[in-house]
Structure 1
Amino acid sequence: MRTSIYKQISNQKLFKKQLLFWSQQFREVIFMDSNDYPQDYSSYDCILAVDAFTSIKTDYHNAFEDLKQYQQITKDWLFGYLSYDLKNDIEDLQSNNFDGLNFPDLFFFQPKKLFLLKGNELEIQYLNMCDDEVEGDFEEINTPYSDFSIQGLQIKIEQRISRESYLEKAAKIVEHIHQGDIYEANFCMEFFAENAIIDPIEKFIKLNEISQPPFAVFFKNNKHFLLSATPERYLKKEGKLIISQPIKGTSKRFSEPIEDEKSRMQLAIDPKERAENIMITDLVRNDLSRTAQKGTVEVTELCGIYSFMQVHQMISTVTSKLDSKYSVVDVLKTTFPMGSMTGAPKISVMKIIEEQEETKRGLYSGAVGYFTPNGDFDFNVVIRSILYNQEKQYVSFSVGSAITAQSITEKEYEECLLKAKAMRDVLS
């Protein structure tokens, strides 16, 4: 049983930072921040879940079945992630590229302590805890804190794929498209640093402040950290309603308003960017139809333009109503990995990008999110994110772009550098 207590919060921004600092005493932490970004389908402004009562950690073998059983047995709040390499559980695929991070393929935990903030109202839910402990923690959270920072060593960020190699590999993908093997491929490359000592909290706060995305996440599992400033929702379930919001299409922000608006408008009409988005939207429609009630799959918004701190993005929204014969985990399994991070058709393109990429994606281009006790869920797409293995002192971030028949490989490379800028600035 969970004990629930409600509090009024006068300064939401300050309280969120106090929550984040307080959470660092625990081995397992997920902090989610919507940054007050105006969006439909938002349930909470901020969530903090800490301290595992139970957990599940596994590689890709039978991962979705194990997750289904865990979710059905606990029937409680669960927080965690799905790595991209769970594709190998769904299809006859492999992930043989270099992995410097060594995160488990899947990790979820049932938190003892949970904080749900909406507006100025905070709901605190504790598992099998007394009211005195809740009050004691709340007082501790509100105790003034002092910012802290590890004096890190100078970080040398390296690029796993050189510019010349990227252009060659992107050209090979274009060849596959011209040969009819695939229509579109999301091709990614890694930036990394070895012997890296960083303060994860400091880096997350900086990344979140310069990006202010709707699906920011600070995740900690002992020595594994994710610092995410992702603007993209993968999948959300509200009752029978399933919502997917793929991002495909990117343009640069400018400080000068007229130039910035011109960039936004050019993105809206760019035929290559629209083709990218529409192909993936069609793929998402097909994925959702596998668990949907007949005739309920709808594109409620096509190629909408949304502005974030770093870039303008093209986002579509696809919805469906879940057929009751499918479980909540079935919806994830039949849509994973998300089409915006693969391309189309999925299986063929995942084989091709595995050949061309040089790093195992792992948690990058996977998803972080939660299940509620009644079986609803919400998951983001792990992009614009820094991954850190504190024990190995290895820090990594990856970026990608969609290769289509209309792609100019030099421009795709420039798009990757644009997407990498925020993470590079934060780490340097």
Structure 2
Amino acid sequence: MKYDFFAFTNGNGYDYPEAPFSTRFFAGNTQLSPSEIWSETNNFKKVGIIGYDFKNRLENLKSENNPFFELPELCFFKPSFSIEFDRENIYSAIKLPEDFFEEIERIPLPNSANTSCIVSPQLSKEEYLETVKTIQNHIVEGNTYETNFCQAYSGSFKLWDPISSYFKLNELSPMPFSTLFKAKSQWLVSASPERYLKRTGSIIIAQPIKGTIKRGKSTAEDAINKETLANSEKEQAENLMITDLMRNDLSKISKTGSVEVRELFGIYPLPRVFQMISTIVSELKAGINFSDVIQATFPMGSMTGAPKIRTMETIEALESFKRGWFSGAFGVIEENGDFDFSVIIRSIIADLEAKKLFFGVGSAITYDADAAQEYEECNLKAQAILEVLSGK
């Protein structure tokens, strides 16, 4: 396409607490510098990604694991136009370029282009199980209480179409924070179920996910699985640790006494899983800007564990890959400073020039976690992406 950068977001009509992503399209050719991203004086939309390894700019941390390919820690663009869709109308922020619909016609239709790529896990099952034991030893020693340990699948290709892959993934696994993002040759194809942060005026909302169980094959089994997740002391303990971490993070930038848990341990159905989601809301102190919010809360606790800094050091020591954009955040900053960001999980990250792609899956490891069950949870989270990459 003509545009170096574009993004498409789709909430898939979910009845999600505090609303899913709107269905919107953004395109442009202007990549933003860090100073432009953080500036509070420019009054234009900013669309993009904060990679997980941006943590090293915020704390005395490092990322020395090998990347599958290099990705920018910050990657934002200024849209030259944006469109918002609803069921009946299309609203354009500005007049569409004359060649816009010609560009749209060049987009391959779903299933018309190659979505297949042979991928392999970076860890064997035995290596995964052994690493979980190591983490649990760290827990016994008091180095961490909960660690979000991730493994990656990676592959290379001659031809792979991210747009068709996005449509196929959204068909198989429609999510409230579904996203397709292009930055020159690099792409994010995301079926994320999780919100990182949403700001509306002085109100900020965090919605960490911790707690997963598969959907049942029948209505009766579905109800049993939902009840099992809702009553699981282990899953509640995992969720509560991250909820407390997010409350603490938000307290740094919020008015005293304003941080509240609006919902604890909410159970929400998604196409293949039930998720346990908690919602934390607070009112920001006067003068708090986007940079302050990121400094206080990034990376999101659901992708690190607790305590955050020491656990990120454990993650760096035990994981086999550089996370890059995976477990970072994608979002849109509005002209008035409001924003909405998802967590980059259940997502394919690709570079069409390097002809490589990867995706990560993980789960929270606690003292009483069953390593084999955690491994199966990772397989469950990888399932839809593996189906897309199978090309069938």
**SS of residue in 2 equivalent to 1:351:** helix
> Equivalents in 1 of 2:255, 2:338: separation in Å?
17
* Structure 1 counterpart of 2:37, from 57, 64, 67: 67
Please tell me whether residue 55 in structure 1 is matched to residue 27 in structure 2. no
The structure-2 alpha-carbon separation of the partners of 1:290 and 1:118, relative to structure 1 and needing over 3 Å to count, comes to farther
Give, in whole Å, the separation in 1 of the partners of 2:179 and 2:228. Answer: 31
Gaps of 5+ in 1: 1-23, 58-62
Question: For the structure 1 residues 262 and 149, does the alpha-carbon distance in structure 2 shift closer, same or farther, using more than 3 Å as the test?
Answer: closer
Superposition TM-score, scaled by structure 2 size? 0.95
Aligned to 1:46: 23
Q: Which residue of 2 aligns with 1:30?
A: 7
Query: Is 1:212 the counterpart of 2:174 in the alignment?
Result: yes
Give the CA deviation at 1:43: 7.5
Render the CA deviation track for 1:18-56: whole Å, top value 9, x for unaligned. Answer: xxxxxx44221110000001123237630110013x322
**What do the CA deviations read for 1:294-349 (whole angstroms, capped 9, x no partner)?**
11000000000001001110000000101013212211221000000000000000
Does the CA contact (< 8 Å) of 1:44 and 1:118 recur in 2? no
What code does the residue aligned with 2:71 have? F
Per-residue Cα deviation, 1:48-78 (whole angstroms, up to 9, x for no partner) = 10013x3225xxxxx6x66313xx2422111
Q: Which runs of 4+ in 1 moved over 6 A?
A: 141-146
CA distance in 1, matches of 2:19, 2:85: 12
Alignment of 1:187-206 (within 5 A): 187-206=149-168
Does residue 1:97 correspond to 2:74, yes or no? no
Matches within 5 A, 1:177-326: 177-326=139-288
For residue 91 of structure 2, what is the aligned residue in structure 1?
A: 123
Distance 2:138 2:8 in 1: 41
Distance 1:180 1:139, change over 3 A: closer
CA gap of 1:293–1:426, structure 2 versus 1, over 3 A, is same
Distance 1:397 1:328, change over 3 A: same
CA spacing shift, 1:181–1:123, aligned 2, 3 Å = same
Aligned length: 390
The residue type equivalent to 1:321 in the other structure is E
Q: Which residue of 1 aligns with 2:76?
A: 108
Asked whether the equivalents of residues 195 and 392 of structure 1 are also in contact (C-alpha less than 8 Å), the reply is: no
How far apart are 1:198 and its partner, in Å? 1.0
Inter-partner Cα distance in structure 2 for 1:224 and 1:189: 21
TM-score, normalised via structure 1 length: 0.87
C-alpha distance in 1 between matches for 2:116 and 2:77: 34
Distance 2:112 2:319 in 1: 33
* Alpha-carbon distance in structure 2 between the residues aligned to 1:44 and 1:408: 34
| CA pair 143-365 structure 1, distance change in 2 beyond 3 A | closer
The DSSP-based 3-state class of the residue aligned with 1:272 is helix
Identity %: 41
Asked whether the 8 Å contact 1:234–1:244 carries over to 2, the reply is yes
Seen in structure 2, the aligned counterparts of structure 1 residues 146 and 282 have a Cα distance that, compared at 3 Å, is closer
Instruction: Give the partner amino acid of 2:56.
Output: N
Pair 1:146–1:201, CA change in 2 (3 A): closer
What is the one-letter code of the residue matched to 1:214?
A: P
Aligned amino acid, residue 5 of structure 2: E
Partner of 2:370: 408
Task: Please say if residues 44 and 116 of structure 1, whose CA atoms lie closer than 8 Å, have aligned partners that are also in contact.
Answer: no
Q: Secondary structure in 1 aligned to 2:274?
A: strand
Aligned partners of 1:271, 1:219: CA distance in 2, in Å? 37
Shift of 1:205: 0.5
- What is the SS of the residue equivalent to 1:229? strand
Distance in 2 separating the partners of 1:216 and 1:172: 34
